[in-house]
Chain A
Amino acid sequence: EPEVTQTPSHQVTQMGQEVILRCVPISNHLYFYWYRQILGQKVEFLVSFYNNEISEKSEIFDDQFSVERPDGSNFTLKIRSTKLEDSAMYFCASSPRTDGSPLHFGNGTRLTVT
């Protein structure tokens, strides 16, 4: 069964550094998402992306965050200057449609900011 893949599985970075989290969505999906889960807390929406532009973003997704689909397969989340509170699991998800279709999630990247 096709799946969403994320790399790396774990990223450690120093505060103030830039990180790029990478995702390969399911190939025929058109809608892409990033969610975040701080340890012990709920899965939180960050951003949705369709047709090469952001369709919706949350309050968490401030100017330090950006997303990009640089080619036909990858979908990336960049954090420009990481903060300690950015430490979390970051999940990429994709969906074939936006009419309420469920999202398919990757296994996440665990980001640790020191």
Chain B
Amino acid sequence: QKEVEQDPGPLSVPEGAIVSLNCTYSNSAFQYFMWYRQYSRKGPELLMYTYSSGNKEDGRFTAQVDKSSKYISLFIRDSQPSDSATYLCAMWGRDDKIIFGKGTRLHILP
């Protein structure tokens, strides 16, 4: 079983819709959870960072962590064409590295 599973998509939604992106993980040692956004030919850009189970909101973005189910989500409200990108979940355990999911390609249709 892979450490971090993420559906690669592509996921296409109309502008203004709510987007739901998800990752599952197998390693219960993961304690810190991140969502990065990556535009084509650019580096990953940090969007959200959470530690505990529950919700964290920042503008149109909400990150949700359920450690008991080993499941994390990112919700994007009022999606915009500029949100079209690849979204990477990432997790950090007790060793000195972050593990990434494969990324979900998101297309927001005008």
Contact = CB atoms under 8 A, between A and B. Distances in A.
Asked whether A and B interact, the reply is yes
Given A41-B102, A42-B101, A42-B103, A104 B46 contact: yes
Given A100-B31, A102-B34, A43 B100 contact: yes
A58 B44 CA distance: 20
A65 interface: no
B59 interface: no
Given A41-B102, A42-B102, A42-B103, A98 B42 contact: no
B43 A91 contact: yes
Contacts of A44: 100
Interface string A44-64: 110010100001101000000
Contact of A56 (B49, B88, B97): B97
Contact of B96 (A35, A48, A89, A106): A48
B41 interface: yes
A75 interface: no
B43 A105 contact: yes
A62 to B, nearest CB: 17
A103 B43 CA distance: 11
A35 to B, nearest CB: 8
B57 interface: no
Interface residues of A, number: 27
Interface in B43-98: 43-46, 49, 51, 88, 90, 92, 95-98
A44 B46 CA distance: 16
B44 A43 contact: yes
B46 A48 contact: no
Nearest to A106: B43
Interface in A90-107: 91, 98, 100, 102-107
Interface of A: 4, 6, 31, 33, 35, 41-45, 48, 50, 55-56, 58, 89, 91, 98, 100, 102-108, 110
Interface of B: 31-32, 34, 36, 41-46, 49, 51, 88, 90, 92, 95-103
